[in-house]
Amino acid sequence: MAQRIDGKAVSAKVRAAVAQEVAALKERGVTPGLAVVIVGDDPASRIYVNNKKKACQATGIHSEEYALPASTTQEELLALVDQLNHKKDIHGILVQSPLPKGLDEGAVVEAIDPQKDVDAFHAYNVGKIMIGDYHFLPCTPAGIMELLKAYEISVEGKRCVVIGRSNIVGKPMAMLLLHQNGTVTICHSRTKDLPEVTRQADILVSAVGKSHFVTANMVKPGAVVIDVGMNRDENGKLCGDVDFDTVEPLASFITPVPGGVGPMTIAMLLKNTVTAAKLQNQLL
């Protein structure tokens, strides 16, 4: 039976470390500040934004929310980003995704000052990550690396398979595993014989977005299984991509949903905001 990876416990440790760093920075006259921009009234986005605000408060990070109506134009949104780029008490800018139809998310991300890009989605930061010389890592993959570290799971020399190739999860995840000397394969919707590929994985990361997607026949006995998925099952209950009940007995470690990868994402956002504050105050 797999050991369950406790994302809540690890994220609590990361948050405690962040709170200490914030306190130390405040003594030096720097209060890390995060601006969260939300456009429209997507209920899931509203929950994420509220959670981010609460997490900032709990760690002493100054946070500002900019809630704009769904009718906001691209020009208005870009003007706000520009204003925040120049705001001295704001070190991190996060524009909550998804944006309402008609707004160009890519252009908004590119307008954020790379030094304030705490999501690490800007092409400059993506390039830095590729090279392996970076300040920020995207929060979800960074959180997964933190979980592996906390459970002393070494990546070096391991066969790692990532299912999913999005810019926010799959691709950076693969890159971080590669930086840790894993042998990495990225799978996607056009991958042939997916179970055959995933069965080779010592470390299997699923970032697909489909419940019960990863079944027991796709998992090598003893594999580490990391579930990024956040889906609703037939009963409307939050679940991951992994068919947990059948995979748990096979794996060596497994992340549950909820309580696995999810709590790490916000913790890493806080960490990135502190890094941004240090970077902008020449304290790195």
Question: 178: left (phi > 0), else alpha (psi -120 to 50), else beta?
Answer: alpha
What sign does the dihedral 5-9-14-15 (CA atoms) show?
positive
| Closer residue to ligand NAP in complex, CB, 113/241 | 241
**How near is the Cβ of 112 to ligand NAP at its closest, in Å?**
18
**How near is the Cβ of 161 to ligand NAP at its closest, in Å?**
11
Amino acid sitting at position 69: P
Q: Which of 170, 159, 242 has the alpha carbon at shortest distance from 196? A: 159
**How near is the Cβ of 214 to ligand NAP at its closest, in Å?**
10
HSE-CB for 216 with a 13 A CA cutoff: 9
> Which two three-digit tokens encode residue 283?
């304290």
Give 37: exposed, middle or buried? Use CB within 10 Å, 0-12, 13-18, 19+: buried
**How near is the Cβ of 263 to ligand NAP at its closest, in Å?**
8
| Closer residue to ligand NAP in complex, CB, 269/274 | 269
- How far is it, in rounded angstroms, from Cα 170 to Cα 163? 7
Q: Which of 260, 222, 134 has the alpha carbon at shortest distance from 123? A: 134
| Closer residue to ligand NAP in complex, CB, 30/48 | 48
The site for ligand NAP (CB under 6 A) is made up of 140, 163-166, 168-170, 187-191, 194, 207-209, 228-231, 261-262, 265
Q: What is the CA radius of gyration of the chain?
A: 19
Distances (CA, A) of 152 to 5, 80, 146, 278: 11, 43, 10, 28
**How near is the Cβ of 166 to ligand NAP at its closest, in Å?**
3
DSSP string, 145-207: HHHHHHTT---TT-EEEEE---TTTHHHHHHHHHHTT-EEEEE-TT-SSHHHHHTT-SEEEE-
**How near is the Cβ of 268 to ligand NAP at its closest, in Å?**
9
| Closer residue to ligand NAP in complex, CB, 30/126 | 126
| Closer residue to ligand NAP in complex, CB, 90/148 | 148
Whether residue 114 has a cis bond before it, omega within 30° of 0: no
| Closer residue to ligand NAP in complex, CB, 123/283 | 123
Residues designated catalytic: 52, 96, 119
